[in-house]
Structure 1
Amino acid sequence: MTPSNVEALFTGADGTYRFARWGRPIVPVVFGVGDETLPVVKGAVEAVVATAGHRMAETDPELGANLMFFFFRDWAELPQVPNLERMIPDLGPLCARLDAAGANQYRLFRFDAAGAIRAAFVFLRMDAHLSALPADALALAQAAQVALLWSDRAFATSSPLARAGDKVVLRPEIAAVIRAAYDPVMPAHASDPSHALRLAARTGL
């Protein structure tokens, strides 16, 4: 991973560099799937957290759960979820915009006072495309995409995953960036592109 490669992963369409990692143990919860799918999603989160060298916990003292996955068929379903509007203001208009755009996924982050990720919401509208994906691949891709605050263009043209035999795994260069991002000497939040230089230097360590 060259510095320019790394910088592109955290530079949005507006040209702004914005990086953040989780600042607290991750506590996932999953809505809208059967019991057989729950271990797949949580296992994917555990795999990415292990790659990062980060931590998981049974509960978040402030939020209970801080990483929420929602699987559904129509954006109109989300505003009907009890209490979700309290956590995500303007949920109705947001869902209307996503529906109009034909979106099948959306991720929303919350940050603490230091700029680190404190919570994330993953919304997956199970259209024909997402429904055709193997559950393990879909779960691992989504877990990877909430491990850090990637740019809106980071995975627009390429998946964070690769195939190793009959298994799906993180692409080696993406796994390397995640590991480097959670190096204790690195900041939990950065907005200066020079941060990409430090991150790239650690992907080879």
Structure 2
Amino acid sequence: MTAQLRDLTPEQIEALFTRNDGAYAFARWGRPVAPIVFGVQDETLKTLKGALEAVMTLAGHQMAETDPELGSNLMFFFFRDWDELLEVPDLDRLIPGLQPLVARLKAADASQYRAFRFDDQGGIKAGFVFLRMKGAMAQIPAETLALTQAVQVALLWGEAAFAEASPLAVLPETGATILRPEIAGVIAAAYDRMMPVAADDKSHALRLFARLQAPAEQPQN
């Protein structure tokens, strides 16, 4: 695992949090995560919450039953057609410009969309995940889908962070799907208590890189 962690260069870490316009934008959750899931059966609900718990435990971050301000601060919506979102009561209050957004997502034949809200320090205070369960998306095993989504809401990643490589890997020995060690390392480093909840300077990537190297520099017994 150590060798894989060291494979990430500062430039690669920087790319994980670089927006399409070239700006560096990092944020982590600034409060306990209180999820709610719409549109799935109980078994899928358990799988998704289990994946979230696993990623948040890795990060050293808490989960909660409710958020004192918002009730639930991480909402997952599973559906078959984007137009279904227009029928969800009060969703347009949570997602301003919902109607034109749905139109854009339909035109792009998008399968997923994420939106975040931030607190005064720039940390994530709410997240909204929309998953259109049609075509290839509907064929993804529940465990794989759940872990992928849990990773993608743990931090504010750049739009292209996982465009070329999934955050997950398959163990050849067992066929089990796991979080790639280098991505797990980035998440853990990002939630280090000495790290900021938000950053817009590329030097933040160097600080993450330094924390990824620290375990490897310790002498072996």
TM-score normalised over the length of structure 1: 0.98
Aligned counterpart in structure 1 of residue 20 of structure 2, from 4, 10, 13: 13
Partner in structure 2 of residue 79 of structure 1 = 86
Partner in structure 1 of residue 218 of structure 2 = none
> 1:166 Cα shift?
3.0
Q: Distance in 2 between matches of 1:98 and 1:50?
A: 33
Partner in structure 2 of residue 34 of structure 1 = 41
Aligned counterpart in structure 2 of residue 3 of structure 1, from 1, 4, 10: 10
Q: Distance in 2 between matches of 1:3 and 1:36?
A: 39
Aligned counterpart in structure 2 of residue 68 of structure 1, from 75, 83, 91: 75
Q: Show CA shifts across 1:126-162 (max 9, x none).
A: 1111111100000100110010000001011111101
Query: Which of 9-18 and 176-185 deviates more?
Result: 9-18
Does residue 172 (structure 1) correspond to residue 172 (structure 2)? The answer is no
Give the % identical residues: 64
Give the RMSD, CA atoms, in angstroms: 0.8
Q: Distance in 2 between matches of 1:179 and 1:185?
A: 12
Partner in structure 1 of residue 59 of structure 2 = 52
Does residue 190 (structure 1) correspond to residue 199 (structure 2)? The answer is yes
Partner in structure 2 of residue 131 of structure 1 = 138
Alignment map for 1:105-184 (pairs within 5 Å): 105-164=112-171, 165-184=174-193
Q: Distance in 2 between matches of 1:36 and 1:147?
A: 22
What is the identity, as a one-letter code, of the residue corresponding to 1:133?
I
Partner in structure 2 of residue 102 of structure 1 = 109
Q: Distance in 2 between matches of 1:51 and 1:167?
A: 18
Q: Show CA shifts across 1:29-50 (max 9, x none).
A: 1000011211001001001101
> 1:2 Cα shift?
1.4
Report which of the two structures shows the higher radius of gyration computed on alpha carbons: 2
Q: Distance in 2 between matches of 1:102 and 1:158?
A: 21
What is the identity, as a one-letter code, of the residue corresponding to 1:117?
I
TM-score normalised over the length of structure 2: 0.91
Q: Show CA shifts across 1:101-131 (max 9, x none).
A: 0100000000001000000000000111111
What is the identity, as a one-letter code, of the residue corresponding to 1:52?
A
What is the identity, as a one-letter code, of the residue corresponding to 1:98?
L
Q: Distance in 2 between matches of 1:12 and 1:87?
A: 23
Corresponding residue pairs, total = 205
> 1:6 Cα shift?
0.4
